[in-house]
Amino acid sequence: MAIYVYAENINGIYKKAAFEAVSYAKAIADKDGETVTAISINPTDSSDLLYKYGADKVLNIKDEGLKGFSAKAYAQAVNEVADGNIIVFPHTTDASSVAPMLAIMKSYSLITNALEAPESLSPFQVKRRAFSGKGIMHAKADAAGVIVTVSQNAFGIKENAVSGSEEVKNLSVANEDTKVISHEQSSGKLDLKEAEIVVSAGRGMKGPENWGMIEDLANLLGAATACSKPVSDIGWRPHSEHVGQTGKAISPNLYIAVGISGAIQHLAGVNSSKTIVVINSDPEAPFFKSADYGVVGDAFQIIPQLTEKIKALKG
């Protein structure tokens, strides 16, 4: 039986998280000698993009009623076409809204925030994020079928091209309970959870007017910007940028923390970053203990210099 994967798109464009989920599904399928069937709702992107990561088949659901997102209606649509006993989702906001509803519809186990490929397939067992990144749980599915959501940036994207095929599914799912009134997407802004590099700053920046140098460094690196909780609480930055235990949990390849002392709640949201750089004027800042590289010094001098030096490296 095929491994199914929910390939999320936003306004028809596949998300990076969709490619990661397909890569994850392909890793499972290869272990089990199975094929990967990707499900997408109203995509405009080409299915070739999913074949590249190992999708043997792409089911394109076409449904005018699903133009706007509805967790319940999307779960119904996926339920109609997903016919396997392993279904992979990315752990994005939308996908992690759909997955629990689908788990009830199918009476499947749901394991969220998977960090690695499964430890076993029968029974399905996988390491997952727990205690806000302060612990790891080995979770085992009890039901005959399992839905797994993959923590973003944890497994990575792995090219594994196959010659896939596409099938269009015309559905008409009833969606009477919710209606999208407006959809605002910040243009040109990198998604924090998908970003491979994140430049983050805290109260050490002294005020929101000083964020220009953080943004300059982020732009140069192709990075997203983030902040600590106190900074979003006092309104220097939007709370959508707050990373930590009660904000977003992120796992970029590189996390640069500027003027953040490293409270345990902040670390919880960022300690699965692959490389952590801490820049702080206080040599006693606890964050240094959890960093790979540290610089003690004045951010207002260091950040512009660092930006220049990286610019020189990039030529």
Partner 1 sequence: MKILVCISSVPDTTSKINFTADQSAFDKNGIQWVINPLDEFGLTKAIKLQESAGATVTVINVGDSTTEPVIRKSLAIGANDAIRINIEPKDSYSVAKEIANIAQSGGYDLIFCGKESIDYNGGAVPGMVAQLLNQPFINACVGLEVNGAEATAVREIEGGKETISVKLPAVIAGQKGLVDEKDLIIPNMRGIMSARSKPLTVREPVNNEVKVDAVSFDAVPARAAVKMVAPDNLDELVRLLHEEAKVI
Q: Near partner 1 by CB under 8 A, which window of 31-39, 41-49, 95-103, 157-165?
A: 95-103
Min CB(247)–partner 1 separation in Å: 7
Min CB(179)–partner 1 separation in Å: 5
Chain residues 287-306 in contact with partner 1, contact rule CB under 8 A: 288-298, 301-302, 305-306
**261 annotated to bind ligand:** yes
Min CB(307)–partner 1 separation in Å: 10
Q: How far apart are CA 9 and CA 299, in angstroms?
A: 38
**265 annotated to bind ligand:** yes
**Is residue 86 a contact partner of residue 4, using CB atoms and an 8 Å limit?**
yes
Residue pointed to by tokens 């009833």: 174
Q: How far apart are CA 58 and CA 155, in angstroms?
A: 21
Chain residues 18-77 in contact with partner 1, contact rule CB under 8 A: 68-72, 75
Residue pointed to by tokens 């982020």: 218
Chain residues 142-161 in contact with partner 1, contact rule CB under 8 A: 142-143
For residue 121, the Cα-to-chain-centroid distance in whole angstroms is 23
**Is residue 242 a contact partner of residue 227, using CB atoms and an 8 Å limit?**
yes
**188 annotated to bind ligand:** no
Min CB(185)–partner 1 separation in Å: 4
**262 annotated to bind ligand:** yes
Residue number with CB closer to partner 1 (36 or 114):
114
* Residue of the chain from 12, 31, 131, 156 that contacts partner 1 (CB under 8 A): 131
Q: In 10 A of CB 230, how many CB atoms?
A: 15
Peptide bond preceding 123: is omega within 30 degrees of 0, i.e. cis? yes
* DSSP-derived secondary structure for 103-114: HHHHT-EEEEEE
Per CB under 8 A, 132 contacts partner 1: yes
* Residue of the chain from 46, 93, 165, 172 that contacts partner 1 (CB under 8 A): 93
Per CB under 8 A, 171 contacts partner 1: no
Q: How far apart are CA 64 and CA 83, in angstroms?
A: 23
- Could you give the 3-state DSSP secondary structure of residue 117? coil
Min CB(162)–partner 1 separation in Å: 28
Output the known binding site for FAD.
203, 259-266, 280
